[in-house]
Amino acid sequence: MFLPQVVIRRKREGEVLSEQEIRDFIAGVTDDSVSEGQIGAFAMAVYFQGMNIEERIALTCAMRDSGEVMDWSSDNLSGPILDKHSTGGVGDVVSLMLGPMIAACGGFVPMISGRGLGHTGGTLDKLDSIPGYTTSASEPLFRKVVKETGVAIVGQTGELAPADKRIYGVRDVTATVESIAMITASILSKKLAEGLDALVMDVKVGSGAFMPTFDQSVELAQSIVQVANGAGVKTTALLTDMNQCLASSAGNALEVREAVQFLTGEYRNERLLEITMAQSAELLVSGGLSANIEQAREKLQLVLDNGQAAEIFSRMVHGLGGPADFTERYEHYLPGASIIKPVYMEGDGFLSAMNTREVGMAVVQLGGGRKVASDTIDYGVGFTEICRLGDRIDSSQPIAMLHASSEASWNQAADMLRGALTLSEQAPQPNSMVYKKLS
């Protein structure tokens, strides 16, 4: 007979739980026979005692199986099912380009994305800035768009990994969010429920990263790779730089604009290009669509240059309810801010450091993110033309264009941005874009 308190006590004492014990506990979470207090106690026990890889695989698979696991076999798709996940950051708009690029190369990308969290922007919030685009698509519509265009980016349905939603809500209010085992299971239970053949994980490192230290980022990446591969999905992880904004912009509609400009070739930030290429190439190789990374990069560059990726993005937007001519007329459709002015630093020197988390919080302060879950988002606010590490800055050189809805919020965000930047007499050594690959 299953008793949740027995499982909690065994984990509290540092014992290794069996797969059946974990499955029974998660089944109780799903059918509400395990209380919120018991979920909190279990999460705290795991936080302090940890879980070995076998336990993490069992927890992830049990949470994955708590709801529907998508099966694409009846859709007779002509390529592998592929996806990516990022631990988030500022200006990380990679998903909007990677999905169409992978689809243009023969893959299928059923991407379940999330909303902004803390200083990190959310892919769904960005897409919500497109008029008519539905991020809460029904499963039949989701399948239809994936099958017809090769990619659909939507939010989590109630049928996918419902145990994760309940557990995360408890972890959020019991100070147990930072558990590597629980983070791994939370991320992967949703991704593996998509029915994937391969996954690439982007774990950020630096001042805008989710994990506070390099070692913890490595630990999370290793955990995700081992658990996902153990659960039967070919997975690699890249540790990538988040010591500055990834794109040249930060803010929902502003990042969508940059994504369209990237896909059409109007403008491509080289840092954003490198990270998008690195992740996309890993996926093409893992999915068997390219023999090696070099060949994958050539394919990806081709679908950017010949317009195929932009065309697929356009069809995805229209398929999910957005305007048919969005890619051609994005400036007409995307919301804007009433006040757009340059921000200047006092003093001069080389930009040697950026507190990227603080830049993200400035976007939240403007109204571009949520301080509490019920907050309404202002999609038009944020930063464009953000300066980069190593830039020579003086009082006549703007550090960014700031898009705000009022003078008061403009002034507050401008002060936050200035406070997030450090100027020095010497230019900094450039950071690697990709620090490490784990597979």
Any idea which residues carry the catalytic annotation?
Answer: 83-86, 123, 171, 186, 190-191
Residues with Cβ < 8 Å from 65, sequence gap 6 or more? 23
Torsion angle defined by CA atoms of residues 21, 186, 30 and 153, in that order, rounded to the nearest 10 degrees: -150
Burial grade of 76 (CB within 10 A; 0-12, 13-18, 19 or more): exposed
CB-CB contact of 46 with 36 (8 Å): no
CA dist 211 to 126, 262, 293, 338, Å?
Answer: 23, 28, 28, 35
Put residue 28 in one of left, alpha, beta given phi > 0 → left and psi -120 to 50 → alpha.
Answer: alpha
Cα-Cα-Cα-Cα torsion 290, 291, 297, 301, nearest 10 degrees, comes to -50
CA distance 266 to 374: 36
The tokens for 290 are 């390219």
Residue 338 corresponds to which tokens in the numbers above?
């009433």
Residue 403: strand pairing partners: 340, 382
- Quickly tell me which residue has 């930030």 as its tokens: 269
Nearest alpha-carbon partner for 366 in 340, 396, 334:
340
How many CB atoms neighbour CB 140 within 10 A?
8
* Angle 131-133-137 from CA coordinates, rounded to 5°: 155
